Structure 1
Amino acid sequence: MELFLELYGLYEKGIALLQQSHSVRSFTIDFFCNPRHCISFNQDSEDWEGMFDYELFREKSNNDAIFTQNINRCLHLLRSMETLINLRLRNYSNYQILMAQKLTVTILQSTAFMLHSRFANIANNKLIYKADKISCYMLKLAAKMGFVSDILYLVMYYYKTLKHKKARKVLEIANNKFQQPYLMYMSDVDDIKVYTAEVGGQSCSTKMQRVVMGDIRLSKNINYIDELKHEQRLIGHIEGNIDISPFVMLLMLEFLCYRQFYEYTAAIAIDNLKDLVEEGDFIRPCTRDIYWQILGICQQLQEDHCAALYSYIEAPRQDLFHNLKNATKLRIRSLYS
């Protein structure tokens, strides 16, 4: 019994017990004095931080699955998150706070588009103006709190509400952000040393806002832009979401926002989109079906029906991650109508 109590007393001391051993203390003192210090196993410590960050943000993205079927549900979730932030987050770990931040971004984005859909067709300009102002504020806040790529939701909203000048201005900002060498997308970073110099040792929240890219997720029950409404409605994926590479979404939005005003810029955007889809850079191989579909939509809007038909035929030949066969058939029929 005395031995058990002695051992349990050592157990209660926790990690501080290691400091009582002179031989162990010589190895651990550097770590306790410098939290950023890590033990390298034939690999640069910079790589370890990048690998950890990728796995962390991948986990947060996979767990970002809030079911926002209507605006009342969204408002309820927003109130819940507000209560959580005001009362409880101070007792949570950094990783729990990060998850709450990611979920809040998703709720804000869903609420903004649902709010617009609810008030878009009413005969009250004052209410429409107020709803639009609130939606813009939510999307700007989401872009500030979320991934670097979340700025594209604001571009979609501006395009959807015919604010093309504002959409193009935000696109320029997004273009500049997407070209930085320290961005992380699909476990890839152009220059890990630049990544570490930019955000090494900073909080997870700061990293999420400054360097992390994520797919643009379009929920089935929310109308983001009319050009993808058939794909959203006829998707055969069990979760009902469309996941689009931010680089593909950027080029699609560039084409849509410039095609009526600057044809040359729109043509460059669609050429870059074609190269991106064909080469497969920055694209998840299992989701290539939606990218051929998007390319076909843009080519059809450009009235290049032969190229659009080729793209629509290619879409079902890819891995049917989104299962867009019905949407593809509808698109092909529209070429001949």
Structure 2
Amino acid sequence: MESILSQKAYLYLQFEIGTPAEVNIRRQIRDIEEIILNSATSTVKLLFNRYPTYFRVATGSEREGFNFKESDSDFLYWWTDHKVICHPRQENLYNKETLIMMEYCDDSPGSVFLKVGKWSRWRFVRDSYVRFGKGTYMSSLKYRESTRHLVVRDSQLHGPCASGQLSSGVCYDNAHSLKCDFFPEIASSWIKHCETKGWPDSTVLQYARRTGCNFVPIGRKNSPNHDYEWRISFNLIELNCVRSMNHVQFTCYGLFKIFLNKVIKPLLDDKELLCSYFLKTIMFYMIQEKEGSFWSPENLLHCFWNCFKRLIFCVYKSNLPNFFIQENNMFQGKIFGSSREELLEKLYLLYNMGYSCLRQCIFQQKFITYPYVERNHKVECTLFTEIYHRVGFCTESAIPPYLEVYMITIKKLLERKSMTHVQLMAVRQNICTIFIHLAFLLLDYEKTSNICKSGDLLEVAVKHGFLSDNVFYGMYLCRKSRFMEALSFAKKIKNELNQSHVLYLHGFGDMREFMTYGKDKSWNTKLREVVVVDIGLSSAVCYLHELGIEKHVARVENKHFHVPPYVLTLFIIVLCNVRLGNRTGYYYTVCELKNILDKDVGRFVPIKLKNISWQILGICQQLSGDHAGAFESYKASLIYQGSCMLTRATYIRMLTVISDLQMKHTHFSSTKDQRPKNTIKKEKN
């Protein structure tokens, strides 16, 4: 019975966590995203010399290969021209770098003091310098304060990180660290221990020796020198350890994280006694202790239960040794006294429930109750979704000098010829996005020069991008005042978006039709012919003059916004009909758009984009003089709080409607007063 339950659990968790192919796709795309971003941003920072060049690495669940909805975006930053050394003789290995000397804390294993060697030329680094003992040291507390606003304004301190929530609703944790290129001597026994146990393998251990470690600005709790201590971080090595797990181990780790978030934390009223890092450490120890045959799909629940028992044992002992520095008890100063008793009581309660405690996971009730249903398209959907979401990282590349730097970086990557097919697809879509933005930027230059050919760039981008990228070409024709062509092209796009085999990545589409249509087609062909995504509009680019207010507000608030492609297509048709004087075509299209917004269940207009969609309907009505209808549409837009967050633009639109009505009333009154007196007398008689 346990074996059957384990197999059902394993199959169901492929939907929540992903199959091996899906996890591999996520990792490949995020790897290439990281390479491009770090190469390009470092070059731009170096050119302008405004800030030190930094290196950014994504950490946390997303980087490991998970795709949980509640996952935060975790990033680790460090400055490439600041280096921490372990011994004075290592100074000879560096030339221009700012050097910082590491000193171990005798009473806090896993923590160090950082003594200033060569002073930094950057103010925010120098602000952390303090006199401590007989020298000048870097205060972890002051460093957190001086760096927390560097990436995102108004970030709040949370542990060693600058944390907050983006306008999209995604929470983030940015840790500003300092890099050491040498593996610390205090953790040297870990390598020998791993060689004895046989996990992780030699490639990970070699990577550990080459990579070294980072120091994050946080000290041990209850330490008298808490404000001056820095924690040794092995984030990069841990990421490679997770990637060396087999898929059953990775699934067990994912189930452990789900269990923590959905079952344990609610019982503790979301008190932060346990974190996913503790679970990761337990998983590492369990993998070393258990043989490879232990980790199998039919044994998944037993694997999970062993990890859970290990967690209870560690809480009971108030001791969880760090995986790399075993003298460092991570529970010290955190799980003790009454908090330990409360946690232990809740864990025992779950333990006595047996496997049935998994039923408390909201979405895990299904795998015990319902049979597994195979979905062949799942890997393809993951591929297209990852490419779409990760291509957004190059949106700012439309602004010079980012453009040239990004293109040079991509060219170097292509010359390497070491990318996988998945990474090539991601890079190609990246180039298409850059070409689209560049084409609109070049429109202004074409008025004074015949050299620029923005249309050629856009045609290339549309030919190789998503099906919905065709909408950009329709907007381009409108910008060029080629309204007859734009109208014909927009109607063609509308028909294509209405096809039953089209797959909308926000969750709608007939999967049978999609699979039948794309049965013998490659991923590239499917992406071009049947995959539809929301249209991302950069605040730095003018796509349509009629969206000028939205662009301006987005630019001021440093945001981008998205529009459903079907709504944008109807908007283009309305614009063309208004410019061509075709009132019948305009009226029919506006009625169709209003009908979709009233009755659509999410196929053409996702709920999160209802606000911008109603706003576009209002713009259409305002253009034709229907001010009352426009005002009502803008009011409807305010009801929805979606990802666009363009409430300010909506209020401005409503003010323009009121202004237009006042001008119309004033014009009518002045016209009436200017009539001949004899006409007025006749009306009175």
TM-score by length of 1: 0.79
Q: Residues 292, 236 of structure 1: CA spacing in aligned structure 2 closer, same or farther, 3 A cutoff?
A: farther
**Distance in 1, Cα, partners of 2:477 & 2:593:** 21
1:46-125 → structure 2 map (5 Å cutoff): 47-49=375-377, 51-64=378-391, 65-66=393-394, 67-68=396-397, 70-85=399-414, 87-88=415-416, 90-120=417-447, 124=448
**Distance in 1, Cα, partners of 2:411 & 2:589:** 40
CA-CA distance at 1:83 after TM superposition: 4.1
- What is aligned with 2:491? 172
Please give the secondary structure, in 1, of the residue aligned with 2:643. Answer: coil
Q: Residues 237, 321 of structure 1: CA spacing in aligned structure 2 closer, same or farther, 3 A cutoff?
A: farther
CA-CA distance at 1:188 after TM superposition: 2.0
Deviates more, 1:101-110 or 1:181-190: 181-190
- What is aligned with 2:373? 43
**Which has a greater percent of helix?**
1
CA-CA distance at 1:239 after TM superposition: 5.8
The alignment status of 1:283 with 2:596, answered yes or no, reads: no
- What is aligned with 2:242? none
Please give the secondary structure, in 2, of the residue aligned with 1:189. Answer: coil
What is the aligned residue count?
A: 290
- Give CA deviations for 1:261-320 in whole Å, capped at 9, x if unaligned: 222112111111111222243222122211111111111012111110111112122115
**Distance in 2, Cα, partners of 1:48 & 1:101:** 25
- What is aligned with 1:263? 583
Please give the secondary structure, in 1, of the residue aligned with 2:406. Answer: helix
CA-CA distance at 1:55 after TM superposition: 2.1
CA-CA distance at 1:238 after TM superposition: 6.4
TM-score by length of 2: 0.40
Please give the secondary structure, in 2, of the residue aligned with 1:234. Answer: helix
The 8 Å contact of residues 634 and 653 in structure 2, kept in 1 or not, is answered as: yes
**Distance in 1, Cα, partners of 2:469 & 2:541:** 16
Please give the secondary structure, in 2, of the residue aligned with 1:253. Answer: helix
**Distance in 1, Cα, partners of 2:634 & 2:594:** 13
Counterpart residue type for residue 299 of structure 1: Q
Counterpart residue type for residue 559 of structure 2: G
The alignment status of 1:137 with 2:456, answered yes or no, reads: yes
**Distance in 1, Cα, partners of 2:413 & 2:444:** 28
- What is aligned with 1:188? 508
Structure 2: 5+ residue stretches without partners:
1-194, 200-370, 660-685
Counterpart residue type for residue 277 of structure 1: L
The alignment status of 1:232 with 2:551, answered yes or no, reads: yes
Please give the secondary structure, in 2, of the residue aligned with 1:235. Answer: helix
- What is aligned with 1:162? 481
Please give the secondary structure, in 1, of the residue aligned with 2:451. Answer: helix
CA-CA distance at 1:236 after TM superposition: 8.4
CA-CA distance at 1:103 after TM superposition: 0.5
1:312-323 → structure 2 map (5 Å cutoff): 312-323=634-645
Counterpart residue type for residue 376 of structure 2: W
Structure 1 vs Structure 2 CA RMSD? 2.6
CA-CA distance at 1:138 after TM superposition: 0.9
CA-CA distance at 1:201 after TM superposition: 5.0
Structure number with greater CO (CA < 8 Å, separation at least 6) is 1
**Distance in 2, Cα, partners of 1:173 & 1:141:** 18
- Give CA deviations for 1:119-176 in whole Å, capped at 9, x if unaligned: 44xxx3xx1x432xx2101111111100001011011011011011221232133123
Counterpart residue type for residue 425 of structure 2: L
**Distance in 1, Cα, partners of 2:446 & 2:454:** 11
CA-CA distance at 1:100 after TM superposition: 0.5
**Which has a greater percent of strand?**
2
**Distance in 2, Cα, partners of 1:279 & 1:68:** 38
Structure 1: 5+ residue stretches without partners:
9-40
Counterpart residue type for residue 269 of structure 1: T
The 8 Å contact of residues 237 and 321 in structure 1, kept in 2 or not, is answered as: no
**Distance in 1, Cα, partners of 2:487 & 2:496:** 14
The 8 Å contact of residues 502 and 509 in structure 2, kept in 1 or not, is answered as: yes
Equivalent pairs: percent with the same residue?
Answer: 24
Deviates more, 1:323-332 or 1:153-162: 323-332
Counterpart residue type for residue 409 of structure 2: S
CA-CA distance at 1:231 after TM superposition: 0.8
**Distance in 2, Cα, partners of 1:327 & 1:251:** 21
Q: Residues 238, 224 of structure 1: CA spacing in aligned structure 2 closer, same or farther, 3 A cutoff?
A: same
- What is aligned with 2:630? 308
**Distance in 1, Cα, partners of 2:436 & 2:408:** 15
The 8 Å contact of residues 113 and 224 in structure 1, kept in 2 or not, is answered as: yes
1:195-234 → structure 2 map (5 Å cutoff): 195-234=514-553
**Distance in 2, Cα, partners of 1:164 & 1:303:** 20
- Structure 1 stretches of 4+ moved >6 Å: none
Counterpart residue type for residue 495 of structure 2: N
Counterpart residue type for residue 103 of structure 1: N
The 8 Å contact of residues 112 and 136 in structure 1, kept in 2 or not, is answered as: yes
**Distance in 1, Cα, partners of 2:438 & 2:387:** 20
**Distance in 1, Cα, partners of 2:509 & 2:621:** 31
The 8 Å contact of residues 479 and 544 in structure 2, kept in 1 or not, is answered as: yes
Counterpart residue type for residue 298 of structure 1: C
